[in-house]
Structure formats: C-alpha cells, structure tokens
Structure 1
Amino acid sequence: MCLSIPSKVIEIDENNYATVDTMGVKRKVTLDLIAEEVNIGDYVLIHVGFAMNKISKEHAEDSIAAYNEIAEAMRDGEISDEEGNSNYV
C-alpha cells in the first residue's frame, strides 16, 4: 500500500522544481506533471520525486491530522500491523 502525505511547497526554482516540506522532512520534487499553477504555500501530493496533484490547504491539514493520529495510536500500542507489532512508527 502506498500512502501519499501532503507536502507544502516552500520554494520553487527556475527549472520548475519545488522544495517541499513533508511533515518536517524537506525534499526537492519536480512540478512538471501538474497542469495547474503551483505557488509557494500550496500543498501537493508527491510520488517518487514528482508532484502529482495539487490539493487544498483544508484537505492537506485534515490528512496530516489523520496521519498524526494514526502514528500516535501506533506508538501507544493501540493499533498494530498484521504481525501484532505496534512500535514501528
């Protein structure tokens, strides 16, 4: 399964590459696959170095909150993987 975590665009260079912040991790991705205009402060979904979709700030914030809740529940042992491991986050 692949989960796409919203990433906030914090910089865009002249070659159409964006520096994005994904829950505190910064990385560079290309914006070449997105047809609509992307600006600093926008949120995108990325896959293997490509920004695939632009999403609303509201959707991004809701998704990040849900991921944080899942991670916290896994750390607390409230949920686990298929083998019963709960401490892998």
Structure 2
Amino acid sequence: MCLAIPALLLELRAGDQALVDLGGIRKPISVALLPDAQVGDYVIVHVGHAIGRIDAEEAQRTLALFAEMARLEPQA
C-alpha cells in the first residue's frame, strides 16, 4: 500500500527542490513532477516527491482525519 500526504509548499528551491510543511514538520522534497507548483499550494507528497496538487479545503479535511486516527490509536 502507498501513502501520500498533503503538505503545504513553503519555499521553492533550485533544482526542482522545495520545502514543505507536513503537519508541523518541514521537509525538503522534489517538485520535478509539478513544474508549475507555487508557494502556498497544497501538494500530495509520496516518498519525497510532490505527485499532485490538492485544494486547501480537501488537504485540511485529510489532515484532520489523520490527526483523529492518531488520537484514537491505542497507546503502547
């Protein structure tokens, strides 16, 4: 199974690189597959690559669902 996570694009960098915010964690990724991505876009990130764009409302719903799943997960 593959998992892709919505992330907010914070900064575009040289060489098709970018910085995103993944739920409070800043991570460098590749935007080579989305050459028209812009700062402020929500992108879907899979294995360090932006593979698609998602609207802000859908990104927030998805992130809220992930947060709810984490909250409901039994603690070890």
> Which has the larger Rg?
1
- TM over 0.5, shorter chain: yes
Q: Which residue of 2 aligns with 1:47?
A: 46
2:62 paired with 1:63? yes
**Unmatched tracts of structure 1, length 5 or more:** 75-85
Superposition deviation, residue 3 in structure 1: 2.6
RMSD over aligned Cα, in angstroms? 1.4
Alignment of 1:1-80 (within 5 A): 1-34=1-34, 37-74=36-73
Q: Distance in 2 between matches of 1:56 and 1:20?
A: 15
What is the number of equivalent residue pairs in this alignment? 76
Conserved? CA contact 2:5–2:46, under 8 Å: no
Residue 46 of structure 1: how far off its partner (Å): 1.1
Please report the TM-score for the alignment, with normalisation by the length of structure 2.
Answer: 0.88
- Which structure has more strand as a fraction of its residues? 2
Residue ranges of structure 2 left out of the alignment (5+ in a row):
none
Aligned to 1:80: none
Deviation string, structure 1 residues 33-64 (Cα, Å, up to 9, x no partner): 125x2111111111111110111111100100
Structure 1 residue runs of 4+, over 3 Å off?
Answer: none
